[in-house]
């Protein structure tokens, strides 16, 4: 009987450990991204952040599927996110762009890191208090902000090293302008993360998700095609549109209320 209970306990612990392996992988990718950025390999640093995003999207789903959600896992996930989506993009942008601004560049990179950490802390506090919404996030999610910066780093590296042959033509046209504005973009993303602007969470009920799948199946197929051919560009465009959608929605609601 004792052996049976011990075996059951061991099996349960093994199941609980599975999601944490993905979380550790997320953290490792963030760490490797920082190392790559410090060595000037911005292309690789950006891709490590992409891999971290993939693992971050998987660990929660694995935990729910295995009924292995724990407070420990939630805290580990947040710590991994700070490294992969706050520190890693801050280091990446500092070494790639912001270092030329000396102390100001350091301050801008730190502002992004700080805002990301505050965003995660607020998210956890709201989740523990049960005041969070399943329909939207309060403020820009840190993976979205990190995804924009990582996608820019990969796209710009391709543009500089091979003339942009693997980028969409119009993306190549705007990359130098984005590079020149990157200091403002980094600060703007930091502000959006700590703002109260609602961003869609895409966590509706299963019926709503089915309707969305049917409605956007053609668009999804098109995005898959583009994602295979221009993955770094698609991530940059999709997350940029996501950022703009939240801002436009705020102005639209304000304008609508003024008319009323």
Length of the chain: 260
CATH number, residue 232: 1.20.120.1760
* Alpha-carbon separation of residue 224 from 16, 24, 200, 206, 239 (angstroms): 33, 28, 21, 22, 15
Q: What is the model's pLDDT at position 254?
A: 76
60 or 191, higher pLDDT: 191
Cα gap 89→69, rounded to integer Å: 28
Does 178 or 223 have the greater pLDDT score? 178
Q: Are the CB atoms for 236 and 156 separated by under 8 Å? A: no
Q: Is the pLDDT higher at 63 or at 171?
A: 171
Using the Cα atoms of residue 177, residue 183, residue 188 and residue 190 in order, give the sign of their dihedral. positive
pLDDT score of 232: 86
pLDDT computed for residue 12 by the predictor: 53
pLDDT at 216: 52
Torsion, Cα of 47, 48, 50, 54 (10° steps): 140
The pLDDT tens digits for 134-144 are 778 889 999 99
Statement: residue 218 has pLDDT above 80 = no
Q: Pick the closest to residue 80 from 109, 51, 42 (CA basis).
A: 51
Looking at 7-16, 36-45, 55-64, 243-252, which range is the least confident one?
7-16
pLDDT score recorded for residue 259: 57
Q: Render 59-81 in DSSP notation, one character per residue.
A: HHHHHHHTT---HHHHHHHHHHH
The pTM assigned to this predicted structure is: 0.85
For residue 85, report the phi and psi dihedrals to the nearest 5 degrees: -115, -5
Place of tokens 């995804």: 147
- In this prediction, residues 88-108 reach a mean pLDDT of 97
H or E segment to which residue 176 belongs: helix 169-180
Q: Which two tokens stand for residue 143?
A: 């993976």
Per cent of the chain over pLDDT 90 is: 46
Residue 44 domain boundaries? 2-259
User: Which of 49-63, 66-80, 223-237: highest mean pLDDT?
Assistant: 49-63
How many structural domains does the chain have?
1
Cα separation values, 177 from 151, 163, 170, Å: 15, 16, 12
């Amino acid at each position: 009987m004792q052996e049976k209970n011990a075996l059951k306990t061991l099996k349960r612990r093994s199941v609980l450990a599975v999601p944490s392996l993905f979380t550790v992988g997320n953290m490792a990718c963030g760490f490797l991204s920082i190392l790559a950025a410090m060595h000037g390999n911005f292309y690789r640093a950006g891709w490590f952040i992409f891999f971290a995003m993939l693992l971050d999207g998987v660990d929660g789903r694995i935990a729910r599927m295995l009924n292995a959600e724990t407070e420990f896992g939630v805290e580990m996930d947040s710590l991994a996110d700070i490294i992969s989506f706050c520190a890693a993009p801050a280091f990446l942008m500092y070494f790639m762009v912001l270092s030329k601004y000396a102390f100001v560049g350091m301050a801008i990179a730190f502002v992004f890191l700080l805002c990301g950490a505050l965003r995660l802390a607020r998210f956890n506090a709201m989740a523990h208090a049960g005041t969070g919404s399943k329909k939207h996030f309060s403020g820009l999610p840190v993976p979205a902000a990190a995804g924009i910066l990582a996608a820019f780093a990969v796209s710009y590296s391709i543009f500089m090293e091979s003339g942009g042959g693997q980028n969409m033509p119009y993306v190549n046209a705007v990359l130098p302008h984005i590079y020149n504005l990157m200091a403002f973009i980094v600060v703007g993303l930091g502000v959006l993360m700590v703002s109260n602007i609602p961003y869609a969470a895409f966590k509706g009920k299963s019926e709503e998700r089915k309707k969305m799948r049917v409605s956007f199946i053609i668009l999804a197929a098109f995005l898959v095609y583009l994602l295979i051919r221009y993955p770094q560009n698609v991530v940059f465009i999709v997350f940029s549109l996501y950022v703009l959608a939240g801002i436009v929605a705020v102005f639209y609601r304000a304008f609508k209320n003024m008319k009323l």
